[in-house]
Amino acid sequence: MVSSSVPRLVIAAPSSGSGKTTVATGLMAAFAARGLAVSAHKVGPDYIDPGYHALATGRVGRNLDAYLCGPELIGPLFAHGARGCDLAVVEGVMGLYDGAAGEGELASTAQVAKLLRAPVVLVVDASSQARSVAALVHGFVSWDPEVRVGGVILNKVGSDRHEALLREALDSVGVPVLGVLRRVAGVAAPSRHLGLVPVAERRADAVESVRALAEQVRRGCDLDALVGLARSASGLSCAAWDAGEALVVSPPPPLPVPDPEGSAPRPPYRPERPPPQTPDGLEGAGLIEGAVVAVAGGPAFTFSYAEHAELLAAAGAEVVTFDPLRDEGLPDGTGGLVIGGGFPEVYAAELSANEPLRKAVAELALSGAPVAAECAGLLYLCRELDGQPMCGVLDAAARMTGRLSLGYRDAVAIGDSSLAAAGTRMRGHEFHRTVVEPGAGAAPAWGVRAPEKRVEGFVQRGVHASYLHTHWASSPGVARRFVERCRTS
| Residues 53-71: b if buried by 16+ CB within 10 A, e if exposed | bbbbbebbbbbbbbbbbbb
Nearest to 391 by CA among 401, 399, 400, 379: 379
Nearest to 12 by CA among 100, 95, 126: 95
Nearest to 378 by CA among 293, 310, 470: 470
Strand-pairing partners, residue 463, are: 371, 460
167: Cβ contacts below 8 Å, ≥ 6 apart = 177
390: Cβ contacts below 8 Å, ≥ 6 apart = 344, 348, 351, 352, 358, 379, 380, 381, 382, 383, 384, 398
Query: What backbone phi and psi angles, to 5 degrees, belong to 244?
Result: -65, -45
376 to 193, 381, 413: CA distances (angstroms): 14, 9, 20
| Residues with a known catalytic role | 375
Spacing of C-alpha 143 from chain mean position: 27
* Sign of the Cα pseudo-torsion (322, 327, 333, 337, in order): positive
- Separation between Cα atoms, residue 3 and residue 76, nearest integer Å: 10
- Separation between Cα atoms, residue 20 and residue 122, nearest integer Å: 9
Instruction: Give the strands of the sheet with 120-125, arranged side by side.
Output: 62-64, 38-43, 87-91, 8-12, 120-125, 149-157, 177-182
Cis bond upstream, residue 253 (ω within 30): no
Q: Strands 291-296, 334-339: parallel, antiparallel or unpaired by DSSP?
A: parallel
